[in-house]
Amino acid sequence: MLQNTGKLAGYTIFITGASRGIGKAIALKAARDGANVVIAAKTADPHPKLPGTIYTAAAEIEAAGGKALPCIVDQINDAVEQAVEKFGGIDILVNNASAINLTGTLETPMKKIDLMLGINLRGTYLTSKLCIPHLLKSKNPHILNLSPPLNLNPIWFKNHTAYTMAKYGMSMCVLGMAEEFKGSIAVNALWPKTAIQTAAMDMLGGSGIDKQCRKVEIVADAAYAIFKQPTSFTGQFVIDEDILRKEGIRDFDVYAVEPGHPLLPDFFLDQQPEDLARQMKEHGATPAFKSGKTSTDSASTGPVSDMFNIIRGVLSPDIVKTTQGVYRFDLSGDHAGVWYIDLKNDAGSAGSGEPPVKADVIMTLDSSDFIKMFEGKLKPTMAFMSGKLKIKGDMGLAIKLEKMMAMMKSKL
């Protein structure tokens, strides 16, 4: 891991979304140098599902050797004024706060779109605008946005246009402000090469996702490496692993949640479009979409029917009691058709056609990938995050289905 040098001692760092996850990790890294850290986040009271508040983060920062100022971000202007009043200025701004909702255009409520655009784009722009007058007075000012390179390959838009627009808005702030304040403020973006284990990732990915992730410390170390750069280092879209290799880091297993386990690549990073098909196949996505057959006899024979025979064999009242969900599968490809698994009623049931009651979750995917998922050869998390599997409905119930898939392995 990248060693602390003490270079941030006395610096004031304003971090949005610093009560947990990547934001808190960056805060703690700076605190070990003796930095002043402004924790600008919305969680003042404990969240029922997410760990940490601005006050628990402040206590950790103080314990690590820094000085902390917890601020609720409802009024960002007040938070900036409090920071300047307490610490005398602002040297570094980290725009880390972000909202995510990975749904398509018809499935995304305007409330969610407003939230993503409000936090990711407007929040980043506004916080930068308010901090810049103070940053201009610093000896080595930096703005760092936790946002991806501007990859315009349509694959990164098609399944979650609203999220991509909001996230790319943060990156466009880098592009514009780096040029606008060239020579005065370093403005850069930082993005992880792999998925990072955070509370948000656990909620999105479900059980087992952590093994495919790196720890938040890799992003904190990369941010620290950027803060050491002069203001001439600007307009860069930095990938965490790349800058750490330049810093001399060679052992990346120390950052892995489970060293040696295959890692899940992060969004937006198919740098060579001609390599996209290969990358997608490797990580569970679909490089070409088949129109699919619509023959009606595929329901009675074939590999999907065989798989459902196995599924019926593992159904039990216990699974129904712990799951309480009805699933519908809209399959395309060589064995297209509609199938269901009812894990809500009686002892459970499964078969072809519409479910006997309204489905809580609808999963859309290629029939060959459905088989691979239930055989344990394709991780649902990878399929979902890369766009191969589309899920409509209760995401929590979708994650519960993975437990049934795990049980299937022993039957195959």
224 in active site: no
pLDDT band at 286 (very low <50, low <70, confident <90, very high): very low
pLDDT band at 109 (very low <50, low <70, confident <90, very high): very high
156-182 pLDDT tens trace? 898 899 999 999 999 999 999 999 999
Distance (Å, whole) CA 247 – CA 1: 10
> Checking DSSP bridges between strand 361-366 and strand 390-393, what pairing results, if any?
antiparallel
193-229 pLDDT tens trace? 998 988 767 666 655 678 888 999 999 999 999 999 9
203: helix, coil or strand? helix
Catalytic residue among 11, 125, 163, 327: 163
What is the reported pLDDT for 147? Answer: 98
Please, what is the end-to-end C-alpha distance for the chain in angstroms?
A: 42
Is there a contact between 267 and 150 (Cβ–Cβ < 8 Å)? no
pLDDT band at 32 (very low <50, low <70, confident <90, very high): very high
What is the reported pLDDT for 92? Answer: 98
What is the reported pLDDT for 379? Answer: 81
pTM over cut 0.85: no
Distance (Å, whole) CA 386 – CA 280: 7
H runs (alpha helix) in 258-355: 276-282, 303-314, 317-323
Distance (Å, whole) CA 315 – CA 147: 43
